[in-house]
Amino acid sequence: MRSREAILDYRTSFIKRNLAASDRWRQWLTRMFKAVIFDFNGVIVDDEPLHLELFRRVLAEEGIALTDEDYHAKYLGYDDKGCFTAALADYGRADLANPDFIAELIERKAGYYRQAIEEQFLLFPGAVELVQKLSAKFPLAIASGALREEIEIVLRRGKIRDCFHAIIASEDVTACKPDPEGYVMALAALNALRKDPIHPSECLVIEDSIAGIEAAKRAGMWCLAVTNSYDADELTKADWITASLVHCDPETLFAATTENPR
């Protein structure tokens, strides 16, 4: 049986080893990544069910019955313009998909969203804490297919707007995910604030959708996928997959991802 002194020596050694490992993770984290870019819907804000509800509501007003299955399989990850355009075409109403009518549908949905979001607090548990911790170490950006007004409302309600140096919203891009334009623009916006440029390979993207993962990879960035909207076996093109961002601190999060890279 070990003596009390031997046990104390072992515990002291164990603590020192783990502190050293923690320091190594911090050093690796700083060396590996220099910026973090978040998707918004399905990562920071738990509003994918709300978007489905509102897409269905607006399309129903036009005589189109959007199913849960079609939304999940075809449209999740699209911005409003992409979703409405694709849905009109898929449901035999492509003749209506002109820019003015699409803009009208988007504005109608945005009005419904503003009303709903004022009545609900939809930030994912742990999202605020993770954003705050990462913002203390890295410049942060958002690249999302959501409207800028929607993003701003939610970030202000969560008191994390000031954590983000750049926001790229649907109004800023010409193509939605899986096109990489949003992530490329987000990095460019961060670099415009710096003297030393950050390279795509130094960026981590946090995503929840298949289209978003493809966009991140096409932009030359690393991607951590969270299974908020899809099952893990649907997100295998991400570099790493995690079940949740709840209770994550930066060191734990990235230690876990380096131990289990895909």
User: How do residues 118-177 score in pLDDT, each as one tens digit?
Assistant: 877 789 988 999 999 999 999 999 999 988 998 999 999 899 999 999 999 999 999 989
Q: Where are the alpha helices (DSSP H) in 33-180?
A: 48-60, 68-70, 80-90, 99-119, 127-135, 148-157
List the domain range (segments joined by +) for residue 227.
Answer: 31-46+123-259
Which residues, 6 or more positions from 180, have their beta carbon under 8 angstroms from its beta carbon? Answer: 215, 216, 218, 219
User: Do residues 57 and 102 both lie within one domain?
Assistant: yes
User: Do residues 65 and 113 both lie within one domain?
Assistant: yes
Counting the structural domains of the chain, the total is: 2
Phi and psi at residue 157, to the nearest 5°: -65, -35
Q: Helices 127-135 and 250-259, interaxial angle, to 10°? A: 90
Whats the size of the chain, residue-wise? 262
pLDDT tens digits along 170-214:
999 999 899 999 999 999 999 999 999 999 999 999 999 999 999
Enter the pTM of the model.
0.77
Mean pLDDT of the chain: 84
- Of 85, 119, 153, the last residue of a domain is 119
- Any domain includes 162: yes
H or E segment to which residue 98 belongs:
none
User: Do residues 197 and 72 both lie within one domain?
Assistant: no
**Above 60 in pLDDT, residue 17?**
no
Residue 221, SS3 per DSSP: coil
Percent of the chain with pLDDT over 90: 55
User: Do residues 159 and 232 both lie within one domain?
Assistant: yes
Percent of the chain with pLDDT over 70: 82
User: Do residues 141 and 151 both lie within one domain?
Assistant: yes
pLDDT tens digits along 65-94:
999 888 888 888 788 998 999 999 998 888
- Any domain includes 26: no
pLDDT of residue 22: 45
Q: What is the rounded CA–CA span in Å between residue 92 and residue 254?
A: 46
User: Do residues 207 and 249 both lie within one domain?
Assistant: yes
**Above 60 in pLDDT, residue 1?**
no
- Any domain includes 151: yes
User: Do residues 80 and 142 both lie within one domain?
Assistant: no
User: The CATH number of the domain where 247 resides is what?
Assistant: 3.40.50.1000
- Any domain includes 100: yes
pLDDT of residue 29: 56
User: Do residues 78 and 152 both lie within one domain?
Assistant: no
